[in-house]
Amino acid sequence: MAKTLLKLKQVQATENFDFGGFILSNLGAPVAANDVTRKAYVDSEVSKVAGAMTYKGIWDATQNLPVLPTAAADNKGHYYVVAVAGTTVIDGVADWEQRDWVVSNGADWEKIDNTDKVVSVFGRSGPILAEAGDYAAEQVTFTPVGSLQATDVQGALVEVDGDVTALTGRVTTAEADIDALEGRVTNAEADATALEARVTASEGEIDTLQAADSALTDRVTAVEGALPTKLNAALAAGRIFVGNADGTAVAATFVVREAAVANGGFTSFALAATPVAGTEQVYINGLLVDVVDDYTVDGVNILPVAALSATDKVRVT
């Protein structure tokens, strides 16, 4: 078929034209919105749109459907929205949640994370300031200190409350009713004249304090050291502790005052129990006399240095 050169200026089409696969070339730059133009012009204009993106549909991140092609220049800006969360590895990323985007940058597929954004806090959006009631005490962390082991404020308050001895009643007198003692004394009884408690001491333990008819009786059950042993023995024997000349506490017998009237030839006065040297007091005719100068002690006997007359009176404490 012979080629015919047809010079057209402006032709109004009244039906569709079929170019039979031929291409219109050497077109000018478009002026009106409906003008036809060349491909180079279109490519140039598209390249001027920075970050242009083209939505391609939804993506199943569990099955990788549709299968994403290798990122390349011809799919730059293409993106899919994750509809099914999954762990399909795409260019090193394997964490995909619903509403995330997978976008081609022309070299790799990248993830736009749309699920980790904080939408609101306590129902408030925008710049948010803490308000009263936002947090409960158990939600606020606490660093253990001293004897407190709790890791939140509520737990610490519970521990402190348990350590505080609360007096909810009143003690009227030592021998009157004890209304109530709540706290570290675990078995105080109201309307009782007996206070029964277990008290832990630094070096021992007072096991029981019991009152009977308003009288306190106590028993020391476990105290470490030599002194308690001597104390128990002395108490059991009805004796007392006194200090001797070198500052050591020793057990001594409490001697009730004894008195006698000397008769002719009186040379000694026997006591009911042996006193600790230096603790006795000897009176002759009402005057306190000195040991060694006026008398000596031999066991239970008080020995006057000078013989006493028949009318002399002796008193020893």
The answer to whether residue 74 is domain-embedded is yes
Domain assignment of residue 285, given as a range: 255-316
Residue 132 falls inside a structural domain: no
**Could you tell me the two tokens for 20?**
């039979």
- Residue where a domain stops, chosen among 95, 113, 131: 113
In a domain, 296, yes or no: yes
Is residue 263 domain-resident?
yes
Please report whether residue 123 resides in a domain. Answer: no
170-199 as b/e: b if 16+ CB within 10 A: eeeeeeeebebbeeebeebeeeebbbeeee
pLDDT digits (tens, 9 = 90+) for 96-145: 999 999 999 999 999 999 887 676 788 887 788 888 888 888 989 999 99
* Residue 240 belongs to some domain of the structure: no
Q: Average pLDDT for consecutive 10-residue bins of the chain (317 residues)? A: 54 74 78 80 69 89 96 92 95 94 95 80 81 88 90 90 56 46 45 41 40 42 52 62 56 58 62 76 83 82 78 77
User: Do 97 and 73 contact (CB within 8 A), yes or no?
Assistant: no
Let me know if residue 1 belongs to a domain.
no
Domain membership flag for residue 279: yes
Q: Given 69, 87, 113, which residue is the final one in a domain?
A: 113
Residue that terminates a domain, selected from 98, 113, 128: 113
pLDDT digits (tens, 9 = 90+) for 21-33: 777 777 778 888 7
Q: What total of structural domains would you count in the chain?
A: 2
- pTM above 0.75? no
- What pairing do the DSSP bridges indicate for beta strands 54-60 and 78-84? parallel
